[in-house]
Structures are given as C-alpha cells and as structure tokens.
Amino acid sequence: MSITPYEVSDDIDYQKIMKSFGAQKINNNIIKKIDNPLVGDYFYAHRDLDKIISYHDKHKEFAVVSGRGVSNQMHLGHLLLYKFNKFLQDKFNAKIFVPFSEDEKYLVKDLEFSCLKDLAFSNALDIAALGFDSKKTEFMFDTVNMKQPVFNLSVKASKLLTFNMINSAFGFNKSTNVGILHYPSLQIAHILHPTESTGLPVLVPIGIDQDVFVKLSRDVAGKQKLTKPASILSRFMMGLSGEKKMSASDPNTSIYLNDSPQKVKKKIMSAFTGGRGSAAEQKEKGGNPDICSVFEYLSLFFLSDKEKKDLESDCRNGNILCGDCKKCLLNKVNKFLENHQKNRSKAEKKLDKFMEPVF
C-alpha cells in the first residue's frame, strides 16, 4: 500500500494508514466540540487537533492553512474542504490561508506557466464564492505575489531537508527535477507562515495522501522552535463510478463546478449505486449505502447527521429506490451549482481583497 502526494495505490486501508502515519483517530469529545457532519466520517484522523481546540477555548481564534493544488477546474470533492474551512471560520473565528500551488503543478505537469496562473485565479473564484470573510482570509499565489516572509521561511526549511529525506518521504529519484525536490520547502513555509509571523497555531485540514507535508512541517517547526502545526485528515471521496478515490483523469467520476445541468444529469443518472438488480429485489433485500456514490454525495454535501441516518436505514430496508435518490441528488446539485455560479460572479470583484495580507 503506497500513499504519497504523487501516488495512491488501490488497496486503501484507512485505519492502517492512520496508524502507520502516527496520526490519531478523532474521538467523540472532538466530534461533539466541532459538531460538523464531516468530522468523524470524512475527516477521521488528526494530529494535535485537541491542542488547537484548547487554544481556541482560551484565545477564540486559530489559523487554518488549506492549500489548493491547481491543476484543473474544481469539482465538488475539492470544494468540500473549503466548505469545511468556511465552517471553521464562522464557528471558530479561524483565519484562513489558501496557498495555490500553480508553481508545484508547473513542476510536475506538462502545463504552461500562464495557463496555470489563469487556472489558479479561476479556482480562487470558486473558493471565494463560498462567502469567506476577506478580512480573515488570504489567498497566496507564489508566482503572482510571493510573500517575502514565506520565501525566507522556505530558505530556512530547505536548509533542514536533504535529498535523502525528500526522497524517502515522496519516492522521488535522482532524475527528479530540483524544483520538485525543493517544493516541499515552500509548502512547509506556507504552513508555518501564520505561526512564525504572529504566533497563532495552525490547523491543516488535508487529504491523508498529503499528510507527509504536515509531517515535514512539524519536523521543521520543531527545529525552528515554532508551535507544530496540527492536522485534521480526510479520507478520499468516492467517485461517481464507485471507486474509493475519484479519478483525476476521468471527468465522469466527478461533478465539476462548471458542469451544465444536462451534464450533471447524465453523470448522476449513470452513477454507481449500492442498489440491486431489480426494483422488486431491492424492495425485498434492501440496498447497500456503504458502496453507493449517490449516498456518498448526498451525505457529504446535503444531509444533516439525522437525515443521513434516516436515508441509510431506508436504503437498507428497501424503502427507497436508487432512482429516487438520484433524482433527489440531481435537484440538490443543480440548485447548488446554479447558486454557486451566481456567487462566483459576485466574487470576481472581491478577489483583490483576498490577496491583501491578513497580517
């Protein structure tokens, strides 16, 4: 089983990964305290999240660093992370920092510099559309306005990392370009920047496959005598064809934020479900929500904990058919996307404000 930011093998065992990474399961105390349907299910593991909560109890704030890997238009799966960040801002007064990695993507993909910049700004609009408070939210684009403290921190971090360390963390080799070898220094700098500049502790909500960046950041923080960043680690989101991790190469397994209602309909109507061969059989034996992509989308995006439990039970008992769930999801998604596109247009005027430093 191999999980790195650049490779994820098929046989994912989340409990095994959590243990091998040295992360902890999110316990009921934390689940109650945060009180968000994503925590406990989608976000399942953490490091030092309890310390962030304790800090918040006293100081009523903390920082969140939540980078966006710019490589395509955003889909619903990408947006989930930022919906959660918005929740953290609203409920916990979190300052949100979003570094866009157009530079990293340039290094690993065969894409033009200027295209990646455009893509970064396009992604930024989707994130801004969620309604973040621009006074407490900062978008960082290394190739547009590299922040001096971030660059300087990256120099310090790069002194503490050797080729061997990077190689063992990411599985690179000697033919890897030096930009990729060096990029973790910048990502570490993004993560440590709020703590180094203001002392605020940082929480990084991040996919389990990206956890190595947080681990390296914690090592560097220790050596720089900074508070180590905490993390809250998510599992992957199921793709519409039922695979455990959405495929970046197959656009049909994800719903993009700029998909037309017709395209969304086509994708959802042909989505993989946990249903039986016939309606009669399903009514008799019930469906399986555990493997159902429609249930995954409904529960992650649109249902409260109670609604989720009710739907799960209706499915298992054969009280609801896959067609019903698909129609329900279709309506909700298209309504959400219509609203999102409106908010996105409004956000265009505000984008500059998100580029002003929070401190």
Residue that the structure tokens 């109507």 belong to: 269
- With binding defined as CB under 8 A, does residue 167 bind a copy of itself? yes
End-to-end Cα, the chain, rounded Å: 41
Residues between 174 and 233 that touch a copy of itself (CB under 8 A): 174-179, 181-182, 184-185
Note whether 217 and 191 are within 8 A (CB).
yes
Other Cβ atoms closer than 10 A to 155: 11
Count of residues in contact with a copy of itself, rule CB under 8 A: 34
Nearer to a copy of itself (CB atom), residue 58 or residue 174: 174
Q: Nearer Cβ to a copy of itself, position 174 or 349?
A: 174
Interacting span for a copy of itself (CB under 8 A) from 22-30, 170-178, 308-316, 333-341: 170-178
* Dihedral sign (CA 91, 92, 93, 95): negative
**CA 93 to centroid of chain Cα atoms:** 19
Which among 101-109, 273-281, 323-331, 341-349 is the span making contact with a copy of itself, rule CB under 8 A? 101-109
Q: Which of 134, 36, 109, 86 is nearest to 350 (CA)?
A: 134
Residues 6+ apart with CB under 8 A from 348: 125
Give, as ranges, the residues between 131 and 160 that touch a copy of itself (CB under 8 A).
Answer: 142-146, 148, 151-152, 155-156, 158-160
Residue of 210, 4, 14, 190 whose CA lies nearest to 98:
190
CA–CA distance, 314 with 153 (Å, rounded to integer): 53
**Nearer Cβ to a copy of itself (55/141):** 141
C-beta closer to a copy of itself: residue 184 or 275: 184
Report the nearest approach of a copy of itself to the CB of residue 336 (Å).
36
Q: Which residues bind a copy of itself (CB under 8 A)?
A: 103, 106-107, 113, 142-146, 148, 151-152, 155-156, 158-164, 166-167, 173-179, 181-182, 184-185
